[in-house]
Structure 1
Amino acid sequence: MFEQLFLVRRIEPWFRNQLKRLVKTPKLHFLDSGLLAAMLGVAPDRIATNRSPFGPLLETFVVSEVLKLATWCETAPALYHYRDKDQDEVDIVLEDNTGAIVGIEIKAAATVTNADFKGLRKIGQVASDAFRIGLVLYDGDKILPFGDRLYAAPISCLWGP
């Protein structure tokens, strides 16, 4: 009822048996980032002086966009998140019916570092050959390689070239 009333999507944690030190608490995401911003009193002028609320709003926005894009698939992938007790995380973990994994981390920053891929690397190790790609979506304009099947990509890549 809460989820329907407030347009919230519950996202369960992703895990495999090899990952023993996980935080297995679901995440709740508002599906309307504009409504969430209004409820929190976050306006553009506030973000201009204090970017701290921008990260969670951007994550909410991207999650809702990925949910929409997933409906285009013949078989919609399951959507999860990942966080372990070391606080390494991946905002979105997509798993299709064959077990193939795609990880997406969302950063409200114009630059990306190797440290931003820590959670994606952990999932890649556990999922092994099932891990197809790990993306850090960021507020930049270039696609950058960060290792085997790991890339930083502009958030705008969600909607095409």
Structure 2
Amino acid sequence: MFIERRQLTSQLTGLLNSFRAVELVGPRQVGKTTLARQFIDVASPQYFDLEDPLSRQRLADPMSTLAGLNGLVVIDKIQHLPALPETLRVLMDRPDRMHLNGQYLLLGSAAPRVMHKSESLLGRAVTLEVGGFDISETGTDPEALQQLWLRGGFPAAYLAPDDAVSTQWRHAAIQRHVSGDLPLLGMNAPAPLMTRFWQMLAHYHGQTWNAAEPARSLGISEQTVRRYLDYLTQTFMVRQLQPWHENLAKRQVKAPKIYFRDTGLLHALLGIRTLPQLLAHPLCGASWEGFALEQVLRIAQPDQAYFWATHQGAELDLLLFKDNRRIGVEFKRSDAPKLTPSMRIALEDLKLDALYVVYPGLHRYALASEVEAVPLTALLT
């Protein structure tokens, strides 16, 4: 089975038509290479896979190799040559180079600031993030939706022949990330310790972060724990959703919330292999909240996103800023969500233009003025 990713292809086409360089970033095996191959033949001399020894040998002297290439040049897994952006910066800054002579598509599995340790392409390259499948790609059929929630959006995990094979792939992906990807980016923590931290982090999914407890449990400093978390964030494994601070006469939560960006990896770390196990698990509700939150962010593409909470108990799962509007989002895994006092407080204190309560049902209905219950699948319409 092949799932075509039309929106990503369209976005990348638009960026390549407008910019000299595009950085295509996202976790390993999420589909970046497949997407890039729609724009270049892998047999082309202008395609470099830096896990291939021949490609690395060709780029041993990058200036002489790249200076004579015209048209689109694709460099896959650029994190293997962290000094390469120095050469690219020089090439892109040459005044005699035309727009399409030496255009670069750079693929990497971490945030650019982590991959490029010696030179930034800020101002020269635009970034497009590629994640796993979302509901716009897999469809809104109930079975497909449950499979995406259980297995996550990594193509190999979602498209596996059964849940057991999917689980095996996800466990292998976690170990590969801990043992290979993170050390390559400079994260030199022992693999067993990093694996334990990641397992511990799974129980923080959907909760406000506090470094003290994991640091104490692992016998390391809070500063080290924060560094571990930052690496998982910068490699697109974890989302640190930052708190929004209003100038209110209320004490507000100032620590970020932690969400696994792929619920399939979350479930593998929690030992959840099947849908019945997921539905019976104590973290089922938190898992669904994180799944729905990622779908909203992928589809809405807001300018900014936060959560909001006060020490008095009022909270809002997601605060979106888009086109000069403030949109509140609550996630409720229930058949018929109702208006709560916390929603009323958030609506008034944050001066929301609208508040949507996203739930896994079928019908859209009003809860109050400016408050509406919206099925997750309705996000597409």
TM-score range, shorter chain: 0.7 to 0.9
Aligned length: 150
**Residue 332 of structure 2 corresponds to residue 107 of structure 1:** yes
Corresponding residue for residue 44 of structure 1 = 275
Match of 1:31 in 2: 261
CA contact (8 A) 1:111 1:139 kept: no
Encode CA deviations 1:109-150: one digit per residue, 9 max, x unaligned.
1121222xx33322221233xx21101111221112111100
Match of residue 87, structure 1, among 310, 313, 325: 313
Percent identity, please.
27
How well do the aligned residues superpose, as a CA RMSD in angstroms? 1.9
Instruction: Name structure 1 gaps, 5 residues minimum.
Output: none
Q: Which residue is equivalent to 2:252?
A: 22
Alignment-derived partner of residue 348 in structure 2: 125
Unaligned runs of 5+ in 2: 1-230
Query: 1:61-84 CA deviation, whole Å, 9 max, x = no partner?
Result: 11211221233xxxx421001122
User: Normalising by the residue count of structure 2, what TM-score does the alignment of the two structures yield?
Assistant: 0.37
- Between the aligned partners of 2:354 and 2:368, the Cα distance in structure 1 is 10
Which residue of the other structure, out of 352, 366, 370, is the alignment partner of 1:149?
370
3-state secondary structure, aligned to 2:349? helix
Tell me the secondary structure at the aligned position of residue 368 of structure 2: coil
Deviation for aligned residue 1:6: 6.1
In the other structure, the counterpart of 2:283 is: 53
SS at match of 1:136: strand
Q: Distance in 1 between matches of 2:318 and 2:375?
A: 16
The structure carrying a bigger helix percent of its residues is 2
Deviation, 1:104, is 0.6
Q: Which residue of 1 aligns with 2:361?
A: 140
Which residue identity is paired with 1:86? Q
- Number of the residue aligned with 2:299: 69
CA contact (8 A) 1:29 1:63 kept: no
C-alpha contact 2:315 2:346 (8 A) present in aligned 1: no
Find the aligned partners of 2:346 and 2:317 in 1 and give their Cα distance: 12
SS in structure 1 at match of 2:377: helix
CA, structure 1 residues 154+97, in 2 after alignment: closer, same or farther (shift >3 Å)? closer
Q: Give 2:303's aligned amino acid.
A: P
* Corresponding residue SS for 1:13: coil
Q: For residues 370 and 336 of structure 2, what CA distance do their matches in structure 1 show? A: 19
Instruction: Give the distance between the partners of 1:7 and 1:122, measured in 2 at CA.
Output: 32
Q: Structure 1 stretch 25-34 or stretch 15-24: which is displaced more?
A: 15-24
